[in-house]
Amino acid sequence: GENVEQHPSTLSVQEGDSAVIKCTYSDSASNYFPWYKQELGKRPQLIIDIRSNVGEKKDQRIAVTLNKTAKHFSLHITETQPEDSAVYFCAAGQGGKLIFGQGTELSVKP
Amino acid sequence: NAGVTQTPKFQVLKTGQSMTLQCAQDMNHEYMSWYRQDPGMGLRLIHYSVGAGITDQGEVPNGYNVSRSTTEDFPLRLLSAAPSQTSVYFCASSYSWALNQETQYFGPGTRLLVL
């Protein structure tokens, strides 16, 4: 079945550094790739998404890249801040069905 | 709009009991999904629906039933609860997949403990 692998599972960076999280997916029919941020005890919230007809998208300090041929996509956070500390999930899907990665716990140290 | 609502917030069950987790949205969203979240396992898709009367299985459907009689509601039924179903359950909805409106909005979650 469909599978989404996410790495690393934990990531610790200094404030101001960049953070990169990578995901690979197995279903070549996937056409939608969102990233969610989840703070402790709260619901996941969308931070950025990309569709299969776009290779890169940027929103302020956050960017996502997609390589459909290799079936992988990445989240880039620049100038990290302590409030970026959370668990981040990637997902891939099509037709209403989203499969999530296992999550990355990002810790930004002041 | 209330968005996506879930009830109850927290529930304790004994093994073998049945219950229904409620999910409702008031955004006229066609697509709805149920996920469970366990430590280190991310969000796993249980069932999803692309419209009223249409449901399909996700990654981990065993032990769960769903129905979608209205656009607004998407209840999740546990027929005979097992300790392995202890988890946090999230419901999510999105407007449409075909119209670049795929963003899924999550409910606040239901924390379920099965003893």
**DSSP assignment string, A8-71:** -SEEEEETTS-EEEEEEES-TT--EEEEEEE-TTS--EEEEEEETT-SEEEETTEEEEEETTTT
Question: Hey, are the CB atoms on A96 and B107 less than 8 Å from each other?
Answer: no
Q: What is the pLDDT at residue B37?
A: 97
Q: What is the pLDDT along chain A (110 residues), one digit of tens a residue?
A: 789 999 999 999 999 999 999 999 999 999 999 999 999 999 999 999 999 888 999 999 999 999 999 999 999 999 999 999 999 999 999 988 999 999 999 999 99
Task: State percent of chain B over pLDDT 90.
Answer: 89
Q: What is the pLDDT at residue B40?
A: 75
pLDDT surpasses 80 at B27: yes
Instruction: Tell me the chain B residues in contact with residue A3 when contact means C-beta distances shorter than 8 Å.
Output: none
Q: Which two tokens stand for residue B42?
A: 């991310």
List the 29-88 stretch of B: residues with Cβ below 8 A of A.
31, 33, 35, 40-45, 48-50, 56, 58-59
**Nearest Cα to A40, choosing from A83, A70, A101?**
A83
| Residue of A59, A100, A102, A104 to mutate for B, most B C-beta atoms under 10 A | A100
CA distance B113 to chain A (A): 16
pLDDT surpasses 80 at B104: yes
- What is the tens place of the pLDDT at every residue in B36-92? 999 877 899 999 999 999 999 999 999 999 999 999 999 999 999 999 999 999 999
For residue B13, the number of C-alpha atoms closer than 13 Å in the C-beta half-sphere is 26
pLDDT surpasses 90 at B14: yes
CB B110 within 8 A of CB B11: yes
Q: Which two tokens stand for residue B11?
A: 């529930």
Instruction: Tell me the chain B residues in contact with residue A51 when contact means C-beta distances shorter than 8 Å.
Output: 100
Terminus-to-terminus CA distance in chain A, angstroms? Answer: 41
Confidence at B98, pLDDT banded by 50, 70, 90? confident
Closest alpha carbon within chain B to A2: B59
Q: What is the pLDDT at residue B1?
A: 76
Q: What is the mean pLDDT of chain B?
A: 95
Residue found under tokens 């996700």: B58
Q: Which two tokens stand for residue B112?
A: 């379920």
Q: What is the pLDDT at residue A98?
A: 95
Q: How far is CA B94 from CA A46, A51, A69, B105, in A?
A: 12, 15, 27, 6
